[in-house]
Chain A
C-alpha cells in the first residue's frame, strides 16, 4: 500500500484528551483529494514497535495543502494515541496512507442527519464543508457528557447547522423525537460508541427507516487480550501472539503477507479462513455475518482463547 511521507506542521490541543495534528507535504506539494468521512492510516515508529492507527480526516476536503486528524489519548490503549500525544514533534516526517472512505455520504439523500457521540464527530468535520459546498440539507447533532468535551465546536464553519447535547446539563439527545421529525428521504449517519450506534439504529428501524438509509461507523482499535498460539497452515509456521499485539501484527512480524485496509474490523480485506479451532474465537469485527464466524476470522481485531488456532495463511 502506497503511503505519503508528510511533515507534522501543527499540534493543537482541543480538549484535555484530544489534540489536532496537521500534516503537510515537505515540499508543499498538493495532497491527493479525498471525500468527507475518509480516514488515513498513520504509521508510528515507537522504538521496536510499529503502530498503525486509522484516523478520520477532519480538514476541509477542498484544502489540498494539508491533512488534519484529531486524536483522543487512550491511556488504557495499546500505545498509538499516547505516542501521538507524547512523542511526536513538529517537523517530524511520518508515513500517512492515502485516504480511504468506508463512511461516505450517500449523495442520493434528500437530507443528511449526522449524529456524533464525543470524538465520533471527526468524520463529520470533513463532511460538513463538503455538504455545505454541495448545497445539501444537513443537521449535526453533537452529543457529549460534559461541556468541556465539545472539542470540535471551534472547528465547525460559521453558520454550520449544529445542535449540541450535553448530558450533564440535562440536555440528552432524544433520539426517538429527532428521528420521528425527519422528512422522507433523510439519511442517518451515526459515529459514536457501540451503545449509541445500536440505540440509533434500533430506533430508526423501529420507526420504519429503510435499512439503507442508516449508516454508522465505529472504528475498533484492536484491544489487548491474553496471548495465544496460532498455526499458519499455508506457510507451515506456528506463531505466538502477544497480549499487546493483534493477530494481524503477529502475521506481519513473521513476514506472512496478509492484505489489509482499515485495520479496524470494517473493510473485510484481511478476512482469513479458520481451518481448526481448539478453543474459542473472540470475534470483535463488524464484518463477518454470524453464520461465517465458525469458519472465518478478522485478524486485525479478533483474538483467540484456547490451545491452538489454525488459519489459512
Chain B
C-alpha cells in the first residue's frame, strides 16, 4: 500500500480537500434519517476494508498537514497540551499503544524495534527517527504523551480512573469542537459534560460512565459524534473563537456547499495497562456538504436529519444561525426516495 499525503492548510487560505477516495471512506455518522443521543458504543475491532474503522489509529491523506497544523497551534498556545504530574505513566502507556499499533498496522510507514527497554522508532512520513529508553522521561525530547500525539492525528484525552469516576487529567487538544482542555483539566466525567443539553436528563451519562469504567484491556470501544464547522478548520477552540466565530456569518447561498463542513469525531476508548487510565482519542474528519452530496444516500439523509433536529441541539452544535441555509441547500439532493439502513454508501 502506498499513501500520498496532501499538501494543504486548515487555516488562512483553507486549501484542505478530500480526494474522491477520502469522500467514499468518510465516517458518515447517521445510520437512519433522524438523530437523537444514545450510548452508541460498539467494539473497536476493525471494520470494512478501506474504512476509517479498519485500523486501530487511522492514518489518511491528511496526516502530514494535520501534524503541521497541530505544531502551529501548540507554538501559539502551549496550554493545548497538559499532563498533571500523576499522568506520566499513562502517557507512556499511550505511547506504547500507538507505536505498537501503527508499526503493526502500517509497517511501510512506521517501524518500532524493541530491545528490552531500549526502543527505536521510525516515522517515515514525518521523517522522525529516535532511540529512547521506555519509561525514562529524560530520553525523549518532551513528555511521552506530547511526543506521540505530535505524530498522531486526532485529539487525545487521558482519563484517570478513581473514586468510581473518570478525571480529565491529561490531554493534547488542538482540533476540538469548541471545548477547552485548559478549562476542563482536572474535571470529572459529569463536570466536563455539564454543558451538553438533554443528555443528563436522559440518564445517558450514568450509563456511559458505567460502560467506560468497565472497559478492559481486550475490548476497546468506539462511537461517532458530529457537529458542523464553517471552513475546514481543525482548531475551533474557545481560545481562538475571535478567529473563527465570525466566519459563521460569511456563509451565503452561493458558498454553503463548499464552505459548510460536516465535522465527525471518531471517538475510541482504550484501557491502558500500566496506569489503569483510559485513553480517549477523538479523531476529527471534515467533509464539505457538496462533497458529501456526491453520495446520493448521504445527501438525502443529511437533509432529513438537519431539517428535523431539535432546535436546542442545533444551537449546542453551533449551527443554528445557518440552519436555514444548510437545509435549503441540502433539499436539492433529497428526492424523497427511501434510504438504506447503516452508514455506508450504497
Query: A residues within 8 Å of B by Cβ?
Result: 1-2, 32-35, 37-38, 61, 98-101, 104, 106-108, 130, 133-134, 212, 261, 267-269
CB contact list, B210-230 vs A, under 8 A: 210, 214, 216-219
Is A107 a contact partner of B163 (Cβ separation < 8 A)?
Answer: no
A101 with B214, Cβ < 8 A, contacts A107-B86, A134-B89, A212-B163 known:
no
Q: How far is the CB of B188 from chain A (nearest CB, A)?
A: 11
Give Cα distance in the complex from A34 to B161, angstroms.
15
A33 with B274, Cβ < 8 A, contacts A1-B216, A107-B89, A267-B214 known:
yes
Is B274 a contact partner of A61 (Cβ separation < 8 A)?
Answer: yes
A32, A106, A267, A268: the one contacting B217 at CB < 8 Å is A32
Is B218 a contact partner of A1 (Cβ separation < 8 A)?
Answer: yes
Is B162 a contact partner of A99 (Cβ separation < 8 A)?
Answer: no
- Is the CB of B322 closer than 8 A to any CB of chain A? no
Provide the residues of chain A in CB contact with B216, threshold 8 Å: 1, 98, 100, 261
Most-contacted residue by chain B among A33, A38, A268 (CB, 10 A): A33
Provide the residues of chain A in CB contact with B123, threshold 8 Å: none
CB contact list, B84-115 vs A, under 8 A: 84, 86-87, 89, 93, 96
- Is the CB of B332 closer than 8 A to any CB of chain A? no
B87, B135, B161, B210: the one contacting A104 at CB < 8 Å is B161
10 A-B pairs, CB-CB below 8 angstroms? A2-B219, A33-B93, A34-B274, A35-B273, A98-B218, A107-B86, A130-B274, A133-B135, A212-B162, A212-B163
Provide the residues of chain B in CB contact with A130, threshold 8 Å: 274
Instruction: Name the residue of chain A whose CB is nearest to the CB of B210.
Output: A268
A1, A32, A108: the one contacting B273 at CB < 8 Å is A32
Provide the residues of chain B in CB contact with A98, threshold 8 Å: 216-218
Give Cα distance in the complex from A268 to B212, angstroms.
12
Q: What are the 8 closest A-B residue pairs judged by CB atoms, nearest first?
A: A107-B86, A33-B273, A2-B218, A104-B276, A35-B276, A212-B163, A101-B276, A98-B218
Instruction: Name the residue of chain A whose CB is nearest to the CB of B169.
Output: A108
Besides A268-B210, A269-B214, 7 more A-B contacts (Cβ < 8 Å) are A32-B217, A33-B93, A99-B273, A108-B162, A212-B162, A261-B214, A268-B214
Give Cα distance in the complex from A37 to B135, angstroms.
20
Provide the residues of chain A in CB contact with B89, threshold 8 Å: 107, 134
| Contact-residue size bin, chain B (C-beta under 8 Å from the other chain) | 20 to 34
- Is the CB of B18 closer than 8 A to any CB of chain A? no
Q: How far is the CB of B216 from chain A (nearest CB, A)?
A: 6
- Is the CB of B160 closer than 8 A to any CB of chain A? yes
Provide the residues of chain A in CB contact with B276, threshold 8 Å: 35, 37-38, 101, 104
Give Cα distance in the complex from A269 to B162, angstroms.
18
Give Cα distance in the complex from A101 to B275, angstroms.
10
The digit string for B313-340, where 1 denotes a CB below 8 A from any CB of A, is: 0000000000000000000000000000
Most-contacted residue by chain B among A33, A100, A107 (CB, 10 A): A107
Query: B residues within 8 Å of A by Cβ?
Result: 84, 86-87, 89, 93, 96, 135, 160-163, 210, 214, 216-219, 273-276
Give Cα distance in the complex from A268 to B218, angstroms.
18
Provide the residues of chain B in CB contact with A261, threshold 8 Å: 214, 216
Q: How far is the CB of A35 from chain B (nearest CB, A)?
A: 4
Q: How far is the CB of A137 from chain B (nearest CB, A)?
A: 13
Q: How far is the CB of B209 from chain A (nearest CB, A)?
A: 11
B96, B217, B275: the one contacting A99 at CB < 8 Å is B217
B93, B135, B219, B275: the one contacting A107 at CB < 8 Å is B275
Give Cα distance in the complex from A147 to B160, angstroms.
39
Q: How far is the CB of B301 from chain A (nearest CB, A)?
A: 33
Provide the residues of chain B in CB contact with A133, threshold 8 Å: 135
Give Cα distance in the complex from A99 to B217, angstroms.
7
Is A35 a contact partner of B217 (Cβ separation < 8 A)?
Answer: no
Most-contacted residue by chain B among A37, A38, A98, A108 (CB, 10 A): A108
Q: How far is the CB of A300 from chain B (nearest CB, A)?
A: 14
A108 with B214, Cβ < 8 A, contacts A32-B273, A33-B274, A212-B163 known:
no
Q: How far is the CB of B279 from chain A (nearest CB, A)?
A: 14
Give Cα distance in the complex from A34 to B276, angstroms.
8
Instruction: Name the residue of chain B whose CB is nearest to the CB of A2.
Output: B218
Q: How far is the CB of A267 from chain B (nearest CB, A)?
A: 6
Provide the residues of chain A in CB contact with B274, threshold 8 Å: 33-35, 61, 130
Provide the residues of chain A in CB contact with B218, threshold 8 Å: 1-2, 98
Provide the residues of chain B in CB contact with A34, threshold 8 Å: 273-274
B93, B162, B214: the one contacting A106 at CB < 8 Å is B162
Provide the residues of chain B in CB contact with A2, threshold 8 Å: 218-219
Provide the residues of chain A in CB contact with B210, threshold 8 Å: 268
Q: How far is the CB of A303 from chain B (nearest CB, A)?
A: 24
Give Cα distance in the complex from A99 to B87, angstroms.
20
Give Cα distance in the complex from A130 to B219, angstroms.
24
Q: How far is the CB of A67 from chain B (nearest CB, A)?
A: 13
Q: How far is the CB of A292 from chain B (nearest CB, A)?
A: 13
Provide the residues of chain B in CB contact with A37, threshold 8 Å: 276
Q: How far is the CB of A213 from chain B (nearest CB, A)?
A: 10
Instruction: Name the residue of chain B whose CB is nearest to the CB of A109.
Output: B86
Q: How far is the CB of B82 from chain A (nearest CB, A)?
A: 15
Q: How far is the CB of A54 from chain B (nearest CB, A)?
A: 13
Q: How far is the CB of A28 from chain B (nearest CB, A)?
A: 15
